[in-house]
Each structure stands twice: as C-alpha cells, then as structure tokens.
C-alpha cells in the first residue's frame, strides 16, 4: 500500500546555492595535504567523528606539521555530514577539514571544506558473499552501504551475483552524493529499489544505519559487517513501528507542544516547523518553536509542554526519544497524532 503523505513533509533545509566550494578525498594523505597547502588558507578547523576521537590530537598535530597552518580542533562530537563546524566554532579558520563524512550535495557550507571520507577496502567479498549464501538470504536483494564501505560494493555485488542472486542498487536523491549510499536521514537509494527486492543487505558497521533502514523500507534488513565478517539477522520492524505507534497514540490529546528546530544548516527545517505550528493551531493545540544547536535532554526538562515534535535529525526522536522527559515525535508522527495521517503504513521521517 502506498503511504499517504502531506506536502508539509517535503519541506527541506534551504538548498545550497553558491557558497564556498568543497573537495573530497578518500583518506588523510599526501594528496589532501598538498591541496590544503595550495589552498592559500590562513587557518584550518578540524572536525573528527566520535570513532576517531582517540586520535584527534595526533591528527591535529599531523595537519599542523604537513600544512604549516594553525589548526583549531572542534571539540564537540560530530554526528553527521550535516553538522560541520559553524564559522563561530571554527574560531577564525577559513577552511574546514571534516573527517569521516561525504558531502551532502544540498547543504550549504559556511567555508571551504575538505571532506575526507575515510574509505576502507577492508573485507573479503567472496567470503562475505559466502556468508550471505549460507544464511539463505532471498534471491533478489537490495544493497546499500555507509560511505566508508562503498568501495567494496562493486566486488561484493559481483560475488553475490556469482551465488545466483540478483542485486539492485540505485542513486539517491539530492541529499546523497553516491549511488547505494545510506545516510541516517535518507535511504532513497533503498526506497528506489524496494519494490523489486525481497530483502536488503546493509554493508557497514554498527546499528545506526540498519535501524533507520528498517524504519524506511518494508523489507527485512540484514546487516553485513565487512570487517568482522558477520551477518546479523533482520531487526524486528513490526515491533519497532508498534513502539512508535504507541508513543503517537499516547499523545493524541496533548495540548501543548514544543517544535524543535536545529541551527545546523543541514538539519534546519525552520519552514517545516512553521507549517507544523500552523497545523497545531488549526487543531486547537498550542505550539512553541524552540531553536537549539546541540540538544541536551536537560534543555527540555521543566517546561510546561506535553510533548515535542523534532524537525532536526530524525534520529533524535527515533533513537534517543527515551532520554527526554516528554514524548518526542517525528513530523510524520505528529501529523498522525493530529489525525491528519493514518498510523499505517508508517512513514519514516526523511530529509530530502
Ligand atoms: S540529519 Fe542526522 S542522520 Fe542525517 S546526516 Fe545529519 S546527523 Fe546524519
């Protein structure tokens, strides 16, 4: 059944128009350092993902030594390619180096940015395909990967095809740089092939992406870790969705709402927040728009509000909702709570 939708849910962060340029590198190495030296910059800011924090200071020292430039290390954790350092955080830097993320094509960058995707070739495709085959996965499979493991994909696909499987991949929308890439807020590469496949294989590590993918597509999602050589059985999608539907049902009568808006350029859906506020008012609710940079659960305690709707990173509601003292909904779930969208089929909150 096709999901009923609402034009309000298509409101995206403002498009990248003009703005400083960016360059992309697979890894930290001579090519990147040469580009930085040639860039004529005064100062660099360096942003390191949570998984590399242990090496952050060695990396900053390496960038200083290789480029001869001052380097400001951005201390806060970075969760995605949408939350690169702002001009204020970069403390006078005129260029950023962002490690571990690909650019998001429709996000406007505040300064010249060097994305270092930290691509890995780790993993033996024949062995991985053998693991998939031995687990008896269906014949028609969709495959998506996190940015770090995209380079393994062509060889893995050939190896899977050699087991008699038909593999589907697709380009995503304007928020995804590469075909078959998965972002926690955008699985359009999977949605495009979902009608033609019986299951998905997510190639990568951790639970973050497979969990989002399980929300986004109504197909079993198997997680294939190329480094450990492990295949995890599908997440129970029905249970995930039932839990969210319970949260929605619990706030159908909530009167006072907070609508959360992020200041990060790649997460800012201020336009959607205003449209949601108008909907809330039309349905007899109050709704206050609350603007934040990095959201902490304590920011929302003690407020005279019954529930929240989050227009920033969708994963705040879906993964961390239990950290907040009041129910936290995604925008589609809010429309379900207002009775403007049905509970079924469940609609994943996605950024376009
Ligand atoms: S909005 Fe969330 S899932 Fe999307 S890129 Fe940003 S941090 Fe990742």
Atom 8, ligand 1: residue with shortest CA distance: 80
Centre of ligand 1 from the C-alpha of residue 30, in Å: 29
Atom 4, ligand 1: residue with shortest CA distance: 185
| pLDDT digits 0-9 by tens, 93-126 | 999 999 999 999 888 888 999 999 999 888 999 9
Centre of ligand 1 from the C-alpha of residue 84, in Å: 11
Looking up residue 245, the CATH number of its domain turns out to be 3.40.50.11860
Rounded to 5°, angle at Cα 14 from 150 and 312: 70
pLDDT band for position 19 (cuts 50, 70, 90): low
- The tally of CA atoms less than 13 A away on the side-chain side of residue 250 is 13
On whether residue 1 sits in a domain, the answer given is: no
Ligand 1-lining residues (CB < 6 angstroms):
79-83, 183-185, 266-267, 313, 315, 351
Number of domains in the chain: 3
Centre of ligand 1 from the C-alpha of residue 136, in Å: 33
Q: What pLDDT is recorded for position 82?
A: 85
pLDDT band for position 153 (cuts 50, 70, 90): very high
Judgement on whether residues 248 and 306 belong to the same structural domain of the protein = yes
On whether residue 263 sits in a domain, the answer given is: yes
Strand order in the sheet with 221-225: 166-168, 140-145, 199-203, 221-225, 230-232
On whether residue 7 sits in a domain, the answer given is: no
pLDDT band for position 81 (cuts 50, 70, 90): confident
Q: Which of 176, 213, 267 to mutate to test the pocket of ligand 1 (most atoms within 8 A of CB)?
A: 267
Centre of ligand 1 from the C-alpha of residue 154, in Å: 25
CA distance linking residue 348 with residue 176, whole number of Å: 17
Q: What pLDDT is recorded for position 91?
A: 81
| Ranges 59-63, 181-185, 195-199, 265-269: which has the least confidence | 265-269
Cβ pair 213, 220 in contact under 8 A: no
Centre of ligand 1 from the C-alpha of residue 80, in Å: 5
Of all atoms in ligand 1, which is nearest to the CA of residue 212?
3
On whether residue 333 sits in a domain, the answer given is: yes
Judgement on whether residues 208 and 192 belong to the same structural domain of the protein = yes
Q: Which of 266, 268, 293 to mutate to test the pocket of ligand 1 (most atoms within 8 A of CB)?
A: 266
CA distance linking residue 149 with residue 100, whole number of Å: 11
Domain boundary among 185, 202, 235: 235
Task: Check pLDDT > 60 for residue 144.
Answer: yes
Judgement on whether residues 130 and 206 belong to the same structural domain of the protein = yes
CA distance linking residue 192 with residue 196, whole number of Å: 9
Q: What pLDDT is recorded for position 14?
A: 65
Cβ pair 274, 282 in contact under 8 A: no
Task: Check pLDDT > 90 for residue 90.
Answer: no
Task: Check pLDDT > 90 for residue 7.
Answer: no
Task: Check pLDDT > 80 for residue 78.
Answer: no
Judgement on whether residues 231 and 244 belong to the same structural domain of the protein = no
Of all atoms in ligand 1, which is nearest to the CA of residue 184?
3
- What's the whole-model pTM score? 0.91
Cβ pair 231, 222 in contact under 8 A: yes
Specify which residues 336 forms β-bridges with: none
Centre of ligand 1 from the C-alpha of residue 139, in Å: 31
Sheet strands (E) in the chain = 22-25, 44-47, 71-73, 95-99, 112-116, 140-145, 166-168, 199-203, 221-225, 230-232, 256-262, 286-292, 307-310, 328-329
Domain boundary among 235, 252, 274: 235
Phi-psi region of 200 (alpha: psi -120 to 50; beta: other; left: phi over 0): beta
On whether residue 14 sits in a domain, the answer given is: no
Phi-psi region of 236 (alpha: psi -120 to 50; beta: other; left: phi over 0): beta
Atom 7, ligand 1: residue with shortest CA distance: 80
Judgement on whether residues 72 and 132 belong to the same structural domain of the protein = no
| pLDDT digits 0-9 by tens, 280-301 | 999 999 999 999 988 889 999 9
**Burial category of 164 from C-beta neighbours within 10 Å (exposed 0-12, middle 13-18, buried 19 and up):** exposed
Judgement on whether residues 156 and 198 belong to the same structural domain of the protein = yes
Q: What pLDDT is recorded for position 18?
A: 52
Centre of ligand 1 from the C-alpha of residue 37, in Å: 30
Judgement on whether residues 204 and 249 belong to the same structural domain of the protein = no
Q: Which of 183, 212, 316 to mutate to test the pocket of ligand 1 (most atoms within 8 A of CB)?
A: 183
Looking up residue 184, the CATH number of its domain turns out to be 3.40.50.11850
Answer whether the bond into residue 345 is a cis peptide, omega within 30°. yes
CA distance linking residue 286 with residue 143, whole number of Å: 43
On whether residue 61 sits in a domain, the answer given is: yes
Q: What pLDDT is recorded for position 110?
A: 84
Judgement on whether residues 283 and 327 belong to the same structural domain of the protein = yes
Domain assignment of residue 185, given as a range: 125-235
7, 300, 87, 24: CA torsion to nearest 10: -60
On whether residue 344 sits in a domain, the answer given is: no
Residue predicted with more confidence, 38 or 52: 38
Across all residues in the chain, what is the average pLDDT? 92
Specify which residues 144 forms β-bridges with: 202
Centre of ligand 1 from the C-alpha of residue 83, in Å: 8
Judgement on whether residues 71 and 164 belong to the same structural domain of the protein = no
Specify which residues 329 forms β-bridges with: 309
Residue predicted with more confidence, 67 or 82: 67
| pLDDT digits 0-9 by tens, 170-198 | 999 999 999 999 999 999 999 999 999 99
Atom 1, ligand 1: residue with shortest CA distance: 313
| pLDDT digits 0-9 by tens, 194-253 | 999 999 999 999 888 999 999 999 999 999 999 999 999 999 999 999 999 999 999 999
Domain boundary among 185, 215, 235: 235
| pLDDT digits 0-9 by tens, 297-348 | 999 999 999 999 999 998 898 888 899 999 999 999 999 999 999 999 999 9
Looking up residue 36, the CATH number of its domain turns out to be 3.40.50.11840
Cβ pair 244, 237 in contact under 8 A: no
Judgement on whether residues 135 and 201 belong to the same structural domain of the protein = yes
Q: Which of 189, 208, 265, 313 to mutate to test the pocket of ligand 1 (most atoms within 8 A of CB)?
A: 313
H/E segment holding residue 280: helix 270-282
Q: What pLDDT is recorded for position 2?
A: 55
Q: What pLDDT is recorded for position 36?
A: 97
pLDDT band for position 15 (cuts 50, 70, 90): low
Judgement on whether residues 258 and 295 belong to the same structural domain of the protein = yes
Atom 2, ligand 1: residue with shortest CA distance: 313
On whether residue 5 sits in a domain, the answer given is: no
Atom 3, ligand 1: residue with shortest CA distance: 184
Question: If you write DSSP's letter for every residue of 14-72 in order, what string do you get?
Answer: PPP-S---EEEESSSSHHHHHHHHHTT-S-EEEE--GGGGGGHHHHHHHHHHHH-S-EE
Judgement on whether residues 224 and 245 belong to the same structural domain of the protein = no
């Amino acid at each position: 059944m096709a999901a009923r939708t609402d034009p309000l849910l298509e409101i995206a962060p403002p498009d990248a128009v003009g703005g400083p340029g960016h360059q992309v590198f697979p890894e930290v190495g001579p090519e990147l350092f040469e580009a930085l030296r040639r860039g004529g910059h005064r100062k660099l800011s360096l942003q390191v993902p949570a998984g590399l924090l242990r090496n952050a200071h060695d990396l900053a020292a390496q960038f200083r030594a290789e480029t001869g430039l001052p380097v400001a290390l951005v201390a806060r954790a970075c969760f995605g390619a949408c939350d690169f350092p702002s001009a204020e955080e970069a403390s006078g830097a005129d260029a950023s180096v962002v490690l571990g993320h690909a650019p998001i094509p429709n996000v406007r960058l505040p300064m010249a940015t060097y994305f270092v995707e930290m691509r890995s070739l780790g993993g033996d495709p024949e062995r991985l395909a053998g693991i998939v085959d031995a687990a008896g996965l269906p014949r028609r499979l969709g495959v998506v990967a996190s940015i770090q493991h995209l380079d393994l994909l062509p060889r893995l696909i050939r190896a899977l095809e050699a087991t008699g499987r038909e593999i589907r991949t697709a380009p995503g929308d304007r928020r995804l740089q590469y075909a078959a890439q998965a972002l926690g807020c955008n699985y359009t590469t999977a949605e495009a092939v979902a009608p033609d496949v019986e299951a998905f294989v997510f190639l990568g590590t951790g639970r973050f992406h497979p969990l989002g993918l399980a929300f986004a597509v109504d197909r079993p999602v198997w997680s294939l870790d190329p480094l450990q050589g492990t295949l995890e059985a599908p997440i129970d999608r029905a249970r995930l969705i039932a839990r969210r539907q319970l949260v929605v049902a619990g706030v159908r009568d909530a009167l006072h709402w907070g609508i959360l808006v992020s200041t990060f350029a790649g997460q800012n859906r201020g336009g959607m927040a205003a449209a949601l506020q108008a909907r809330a008012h039309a349905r007899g609710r109050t709704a206050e728009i609350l603007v934040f940079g990095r959201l902490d659960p304590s920011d929302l305690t003690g407020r005279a509000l019954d529930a929240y709707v989050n227009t920033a990173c969708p994963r705040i509601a879906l993964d961390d909702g239990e950290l907040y003292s009041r129910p936290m909904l995604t925008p589609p779930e809010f429309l379900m709570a207002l009775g403007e969208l049905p509970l079924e089929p469940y609609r994943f909150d996605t950024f376009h």
